[in-house]
Amino acid sequence: MSHSHNQIVEQLPLKSICSMCYNNRPKLDWTIREFTYAELHAATQGFSIKNFLSEGGFGSVYKGEIHGQKIAVKQCIHANHKQEKEFKSEVDALTKARHENVVMFLGSCSEGNNRFLVYEFVCNGSLDQHLSQYSRKPLCWQDRVKVANGAAKGLLYLHQNNIIHRDIKPNNILLTHDCKALLGDFGLAKTVSEEFSCSIECPGNLGYWAPEYAAFGKVSNKTDVYSFGVVLVELITGMKTTDKRLGGKNLVRWARPLLRQGNCQKLVDGRIMESHDCHQLFWLSRLAGNCLNKDPHKRLDMNTVSLHFDFLLSKSSSNPIQAVIYILILLGGQSLNTYRRRLQWLHSGKRQY
């Protein structure tokens, strides 16, 4: 089976290497191919338990190696029409996506009833493992911001290519040891050409559903933005959507009043209380609140979210003049181009506006 794909490939180095474990990412010009069952069986040592990585709603994932390239092989459950549709949906979405913050799709296997998806191997597990209260080394504040920024860039790229992920959550954000974030698991992804489409089913985790998705099955880029907002709250708090420490409350319901009041210090994960950047915490909390707007039309888009991170990671976040301009943007008072022009003026030493 051959795949034709017209994806937009970002201008990136052909390869990137993890500074800690030296894991090589595949070249961006890797040609997507059809693997044989025998190849994947050999690569994973017969789908050995020692190569088992994870189990999800769509099947098990195993680590393997082919021609010196480490891979992750997703063994898809294939028992009915729905699961076959999900398999094809993931293949279609992945063949269009080549970006440094999206897990690279290397190929697939369809032999008899066997269905496999082959990805690059991402060396440091998923975000949920690093946010867990049981993690021996929880992510520091700067790494959390870096992960959020990377995930935002990956999601913006998908939206620019008319792909709605539909399952943004920490389990589906994979990390290298350098805390580069890569979006994975496209089993629920949809390619769209309209602002809204309607889905009868609402798969995924309830804690990440946008209100319009949960109530009416309405799907758009803004449903991903809402899920991303939930992830931001998890990064800030270190809590899960149904964390036992919340006493039965949903994380978003618990956090929403604090976000509205700007009471950031009550949100921040106690494990990083001494190391977080107060200015960044304030702006990241503002961003999370705007991503979680109940009205999808008032919710931010990923272009604005990405711009927010440009601001957040610059020194502007502690500059009162630039902060005032930025908050006008965040509240919808100015255009993005106006914001960019004014930042350029400020950086050049001018103050007229």
Mind listing the pLDDT tens digit for each residue in 114-166?
889 999 999 999 999 999 988 888 999 999 999 999 999 999 999 998 889 98
DSSP 272: G
What pLDDT sits at residue 131? Answer: 94
User: In a 3-state reduction of DSSP, which class is residue 336?
Assistant: helix
Report whether pLDDT(192) > 80.
no
- Please check whether residues 153 and 108 belong to one and the same domain: no
Residues linked to residue 75 through DSSP beta bridges, in sequence order: 60, 116
What does the alpha-carbon distance between residue 269 and residue 131 come to, in Å, rounded to a whole number? 10
**Cβ 173 vs Cβ 147: under 8 Å:** yes
- Please check whether residues 116 and 132 belong to one and the same domain: no
Report whether pLDDT(33) > 60.
yes
Residue 346 in any domain: the answer is: no
- Please check whether residues 54 and 170 belong to one and the same domain: no
Query: 90, 120, 150 — which closes off a domain?
Result: 120
Residue 173 in any domain: the answer is: yes
Query: 120, 153, 169 — which closes off a domain?
Result: 120
What pLDDT sits at residue 352? Answer: 40
pLDDT in tens, 60-76: 999 999 989 999 999 88
pLDDT in tens, 89-110: 777 777 878 899 999 999 999 8
Report whether pLDDT(267) > 90.
yes
- Please check whether residues 77 and 208 belong to one and the same domain: no
What does the alpha-carbon distance between residue 23 and residue 32 come to, in Å, rounded to a whole number? 20
- Please check whether residues 201 and 300 belong to one and the same domain: yes
pLDDT range class, residue 298, cuts 50, 70, 90: very high
Structural domain boundaries enclosing 97? 33-120
Range 188-216 average pLDDT: 70
- Please check whether residues 77 and 199 belong to one and the same domain: no
What pLDDT sits at residue 349? Answer: 47
- Please check whether residues 91 and 164 belong to one and the same domain: no
The alpha carbons of the chain give a radius of gyration, in whole angstroms, of 21
Number of structural domains found in the chain:
2
- CATH number for 159: 1.10.510.10
- Please check whether residues 148 and 103 belong to one and the same domain: no
What pLDDT sits at residue 350? Answer: 44
Residue 306 in any domain: the answer is: yes
The two structure tokens encoding residue 274: 């001494």
- CATH number for 49: 3.30.200.20
**Cβ 185 vs Cβ 56: under 8 Å:** yes
Look-up of token digits 């913050």: 101
- Please check whether residues 308 and 188 belong to one and the same domain: yes
Task: Exactly one of 167, 185, 224, 269 is catalytic; name it.
Answer: 167
Query: 83, 101, 120 — which closes off a domain?
Result: 120
Return the ∠ at Cα 157 (arms to 156 and 162), rounded to 5°: 95
CB < 8 Å & 24+ apart, contacts of 314-320 = 316/343, 316/346, 317/279, 317/280, 317/282, 317/283, 318/279, 319/346
Share of the chain above pLDDT 70, in %: 78
Number of Cα atoms under 13 Å in the Cβ half of residue 134: 4
Number of Cα atoms under 13 Å in the Cβ half of residue 269: 24
Report whether pLDDT(306) > 80.
yes
What does the alpha-carbon distance between residue 351 and residue 186 come to, in Å, rounded to a whole number? 46
What does the alpha-carbon distance between residue 172 and residue 12 come to, in Å, rounded to a whole number? 23
Report whether pLDDT(271) > 90.
yes
Share of the chain above pLDDT 90, in %: 48
Residue 69 in any domain: the answer is: yes
> Which of 61-88 are b and which e, b meaning 16 or more Cβ less than 10 Å from the residue's Cβ?
bbbbebeebbbbbbbbebeeeebeebbe
Q: Is 167 a catalytic residue?
A: yes
Range 239-263 average pLDDT: 90
Residue 204 in any domain: the answer is: yes
- Please check whether residues 52 and 149 belong to one and the same domain: no
The contacts of residue 174 (CB under 8 Å, 6+ apart) are 103, 122, 124, 125, 126, 127, 181, 182, 183, 184
pLDDT range class, residue 344, cuts 50, 70, 90: low
Residue 197 in any domain: the answer is: yes
- Please check whether residues 166 and 220 belong to one and the same domain: yes
- Please check whether residues 86 and 162 belong to one and the same domain: no
What pLDDT sits at residue 77? Answer: 72
The contacts of residue 311 (CB under 8 Å, 6+ apart) are 283, 317, 322, 326, 343
Residue 342 in any domain: the answer is: no
